């Protein structure tokens, strides 16, 4: 059934094309119980690029004792060779032009992580901040204010080195320790990340509790603060089965960058209620049906996720992968 395709029925008002920001190699594999060999990770990245994904977040330069699954960041980039050391700097929300190099960002938690990333030859990085104090303490070991102050130095140095910088804001829709999160708290942290030099801000539903109306309200709050959707991306987890509905709400509001993870891999090792990410295949199936261009070959992507499921020894949670393979 790998040749199956949805019927195309465009919805007026949606973006003509979007950027799928693939996070499987980083956000997906970081939550695996066992460490995936470097060679398999490199093959995974190459297969994702071969399926037409123009942005693939490959790893994170975190402390090995904190996230041992990503301890091989330097080795992975070396294994990828020239592909891993050459990414094009594109305006947020754009797709790579034909023939361009892929964008291969990495996550950096601090200045030491940035140093390692620069030594590895990367040209695009991301920083990860929490909106809530509870998660900031558990994930980053610092308060929200302390973590943002630390990231300001990281972003300044990265920009000075010519790198493109993305900001992640986590716990934007709910926190397992604090419950509901105020819209203005999310806007405050997001605005500070953008003000320090992040070119794009990804709004994370870390524990998957968002609903479409909540998404619309948060995007509207950013708009009221003078921050347009062209600078925003969305990052949904599918804990309650709402990720696709939430994505459609974001698209209707004009968002053109959507984070997703091949095969629905992922979660967060520091928030046990965070289950898998929005599956890239499920996202592409919906977008293909809506006539929204992504540049992704769905068949090749399904084949890639089916292959990785075999490596991991368990079926993919993606409904499209299971239906087509």
Which residues are the active-site residues? 268
Dist CA 8 CA 126 (whole Å): 34
| DSSP secondary structure code for residue 141 in this structure | S
| 313: alpha, beta or left? (left if phi > 0; alpha if psi -120 to 50) | left
Dist CA 37 CA 16 (whole Å): 38
Dist CA 72 CA 232 (whole Å): 30
Dist CA 48 CA 56 (whole Å): 8
Residue (of 269, 235, 278) closest to 69 by Cα position:
269
Compute how many other C-beta atoms are within 10 angstroms of the C-beta atom of residue 57.
25
Under 8 Å CB-to-CB from 224, ≥6 apart: which residues? none
């Amino acid at each position: 059934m790998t040749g199956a395709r949805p019927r195309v029925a465009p919805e007026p008002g949606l973006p003509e094309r979007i950027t799928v920001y693939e996070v499987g190699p980083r956000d997906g594999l970081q939550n695996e119980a066992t460490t995936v060999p470097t060679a398999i990770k490199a093959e995974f990245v190459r297969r994702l690029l071969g399926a037409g994904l123009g942005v693939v977040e490959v790893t994170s330069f975190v402390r090995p004792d904190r996230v041992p699954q990503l301890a091989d960041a330097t080795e992975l980039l070396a294994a990828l060779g020239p592909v891993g050391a050459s990414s094009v700097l594109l305006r947020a929300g754009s797709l790579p032009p034909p023939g361009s190099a892929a964008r291969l960002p990495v996550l950096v938690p601090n200045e030491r992580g940035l140093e390692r990333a620069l030594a590895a030859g990367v040209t695009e990085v991301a920083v990860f901040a929490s909106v809530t104090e509870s998660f900031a303490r558990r994930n980053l070991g610092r308060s929200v204010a302390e973590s943002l102050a630390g990231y300001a130095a990281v972003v300044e140095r990265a920009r000075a080195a010519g790198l493109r910088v993305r900001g992640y804001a986590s716990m934007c829709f709910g926190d397992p320790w604090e419950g509901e999160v105020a819209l203005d708290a999310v806007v405050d942290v997001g605005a500070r990340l953008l003000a320090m030099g992040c070119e794009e801000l990804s709004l994370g539903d870390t524990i998957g509790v968002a609903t479409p109306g909540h998404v619309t309200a948060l995007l509207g709050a950013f708009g009221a603060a003078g921050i347009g959707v062209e600078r925003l991306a969305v990052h949904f987890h599918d804990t309650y089965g709402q990720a696709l509905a939430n994505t459609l709400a974001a698209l209707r509001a004009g968002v053109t960058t959507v984070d997703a993870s091949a095969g629905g891999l992922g979660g967060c090792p520091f928030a046990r209620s965070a289950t898998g990410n929005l599956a890239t295949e499920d996202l592409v199936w919906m977008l293909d049906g809506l006539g929204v261009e992504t540049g992704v070959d769905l068949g090749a992507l399904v084949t890639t996720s089916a292959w990785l499921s075999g490596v991991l020894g368990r079926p993919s949670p993606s409904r499209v992968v299971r239906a087509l393979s």
